[in-house]
Chain A
Amino acid sequence: MTWHLFQLLLQASLMTIFVSVLSIFAGLALAVVLSALRMSGNRWMAGGAVLFISFFRGVPLLVQLLLIFNLLPVIGITLPSLATAIIGLSLSTAAYQAENLRGGFEGVPIGLIESAEMAGFSRMQTFVYIRTPIALRMTFPALVNEAILILKASSLVSVVGMVELTKMAQNLAASTYQPLPIFASAGLIYLVINLIVAFAARRAEDALPGLPAK
């Protein structure tokens, strides 16, 4: 295990971070829309959201990635591996985050919504300016938990041709015959990234202004 090998792993971990961060935020944005549809009261929109959530929660991520990778060219869409990976991860995490958020949306006290109505907010404005920020705060620990899961699940995107941390480790292990120190290093890098995420999240949580009183 040389410094050079470790540097290669670190470079690959940048790809892991890049794919994960983009997927986490894209997934969260999609999750807000999914929860809104689910709570819309419209049978078709709610049903569509439930169907989406059930599929992406019920099918293994690895299978989803392989499906997307093989399905898109069939319907005439060719995307680079990077885009395929991000789409796959985003759709999957959105399903989970939508369910996390739903708990938060339903937990927003009715009085806060009534005061928004009395202040002249439209339903959409209430959703954007009052309900969503409060729901995000109420479910923050669960959202961070899912973000960490996605960081680790990003190791699966090698199946669509991405070379990220895990794939790089596999390549180096095969070419150097030193699997143990290389996989140990890769594991250590994942651990450090996630410790940093958890630490930042805790700091952010402390800095977030108070939650509604129960």
Chain B
Amino acid sequence: MTDSAISIRNVSKQFGDTVVLRDINLEVPKGQVSCLIGPSGSGKSTLLRCMAFLEEANAGTILIEGEPMGFVEGPNGRRRQTAAELRVARSKIGMVFQQFNLWPHMTALGNVSASLRRVRKMPRKEAEDKAMAQLEKVDLAPRAHHYPSQLSGGQQQRVAIARALALDPVIMLFDEPTSALDPELTGEVLNVMRALAEEGMTMVVVTHEIGFAASVGHKVCFLDHGKLLFHDTPQKVFAAPRNPRLEQFLDTYLDRGAFLVQ
């Protein structure tokens, strides 16, 4: 249990009458890449957002390195964490969104250094030096003084990754990081993510990039209609899918010729 970066226990979530997550149990091991795949509306993004408490689960527990996320158990049942408690819980997590969500009024450097200056209270020079180092890591130091609107989608997403990394998270969550990108820009983002995985970062990635899941993922989780149907190594998931629904899902990728099993 202690080697789990994230523990998800009996998590359920509904929006009104629509059940989005049904009794999910999942352990995300430290230092590994777990990929969440599944058809649209299967609940994979919602599950990821629950891990960051951007969505509230209706039931169940989510532990980040053993610490509760979003709710704490008290003598009178569970209660929501206060804003300050939530900030502490979230400080271990870096999040990358499908739409990048860079702040448009700040340069790339400003986006990466803002939280260092405002949250970590670093002096400007120190924050910008650290931010610059992160931008170098994603190969964007020459674009540090560009605004998001002056960057391509792939560049914006790499800035977003640098921004999340600047706060030294121990877990990185990716919510369909390449879905908003032109096909030819996805490669540069996936390469950054691959490099991060090789450094041993714990990552949870919601993705439609089956090829990435197959080659970088240590674990692949298949969700359908809010249920975690299959959770295993990519070899088991892709080479010998024993679940009919999973087979059907993967077939659509084979049909499109979008993925080749190595």
Contact = CB atoms under 8 A, between A and B. Distances in A.
> Are the chains A and B members of one assembly?
yes
Interface of A: 109, 111-112, 114-123, 125, 129-130, 133-134, 137, 208-213
B5 interface: no
Given A120-B115, A121-B119, A115 B90 contact: no
B119 A119 contact: yes
5 contacts: A111-B97, A115-B102, A121-B115, A125-B118, A209-B107
Interface residues of B, number: 31
A134 B106 CA distance: 10
Given A121-B115, A134-B103, A210 B150 contact: yes
Given A118-B90, A119-B163, A212 B104 contact: yes
A137 B95 CA distance: 26
B105 interface: yes
A118 B103 contact: no
Interface of B: 52, 54, 83, 87, 90-91, 93-95, 97, 99, 101-107, 114-115, 118-120, 147-150, 160, 163-164, 167
Given A120-B91, A129-B114, A209-B107, 10 more contacts: A109-B101, A112-B103, A114-B54, A115-B160, A116-B103, A118-B90, A121-B119, A122-B87, A134-B104, A212-B104
Contacts of B150: 210
Given A118-B52, A120-B115, A209 B97 contact: no
If over half of A's interface residues share one DSSP class (helix, strand or loop), that class is named, otherwise mixed; here it is helix
Contacts of A133: 105
Given A210-B150, A211-B104, A115 B95 contact: yes
Nearest to A136: B105
Nearest to A133: B105
A118 B114 contact: no
A210 B111 CA distance: 14
A120 B104 contact: no
B115 A114 contact: no
B159 to A, nearest CB: 11
A156 B95 CA distance: 54
